Structure 1
């Protein structure tokens, strides 16, 4: 597994992640079903997301996959509180070609500085090195123990189903 920087306890500097305008994840509390809003995608991007979601693992970082709403959403969730993956999110508005990424098993994840530095905050890394873009909402509960493991476990499926995205350092 290749790690250039950790998303758990911070050792590096990240940059701006996506705004919430493209996809809103509604998590009303523990044991509620995560909701993933549908987004407008090209036919090719929708097909890539559908094949990715169908191929995602039944467990992630030791947590079982759970239902999301709607059932045919372009995403998946694991655990309670849930890791929530959403496929087809928009490019972050403040992305610059000199952006730094956390490279985990060959996938470049883009994260804001405040999310890297405050382990008490939820984090939302975006896989910018692949398209369509995928984000994973990571509850603060998993920041010190499971975030890098979870992103590494997702990498093979992401690399298999998604195309080349943006470059980041």
Structure 2
């Protein structure tokens, strides 16, 4: 059976083979999760490095799978991934008095629903902004993943205004 499949593949025309290779290369199963790496100042970078050392191995039961490019300022868990980025800029929505927020185990978060159905949570009243993106596939989890970040954020990102 395997021989006949290989034989059929060999009979595929060159343009069809090129298309097959190109589409296989674009498969989401083969791609690493990507996250833009923030570029904070040196003080915030140091806070974020300390946070990275204390991040949990699992979030909401999901194992850690860091995004590309590798950085101490980004981390990920699961597939589709919950993404953490530390040292992001202050979100404009934070200035909106109508913005939604939540407190999870002593850490305050701004909540922003994105156009694609995902949710972005950003710490408030901390010396560095930590952003968590919860993919739409995990939106049913509510804010429960945030509880896994509370202890490391409280230990490494002091209260204050960034």
Choose between structure 1 and 2 for higher RCO, CA contacts under 8 A separated by at least 6 residues: 1
Determine if the alignment matches structure 1 residue 128 to structure 2 residue 128. Answer: no
Unaligned runs of 5+ in 2: 1-26
Determine if the alignment matches structure 1 residue 84 to structure 2 residue 79. Answer: no
Q: TM-score, normalised by structure 2?
A: 0.72
Q: Which has the larger radius of gyration?
A: 2
Q: How many pairs align?
A: 134
Deviations, residues 33-80 of structure 1 (Å, cap 9, x unaligned): 222323332211101001101210110000000132122241110000
Output the aligned Cα RMSD.
2.3
Instruction: Quickly say closer, same or farther: Cα 1:60–1:109, change in 2 above 3 A.
Output: same
Unaligned runs of 5+ in 1: 1-27
Q: TM-score, normalised by structure 1?
A: 0.70
SS at match of 1:95: helix
The offset of 1:165, in angstroms, is: 3.9
Going by fraction, where is helix more abundant, 1 or 2? 2
Determine if the alignment matches structure 1 residue 152 to structure 2 residue 147. Answer: yes
Among 130, 143, 148, the residue aligned to 2:139: 143
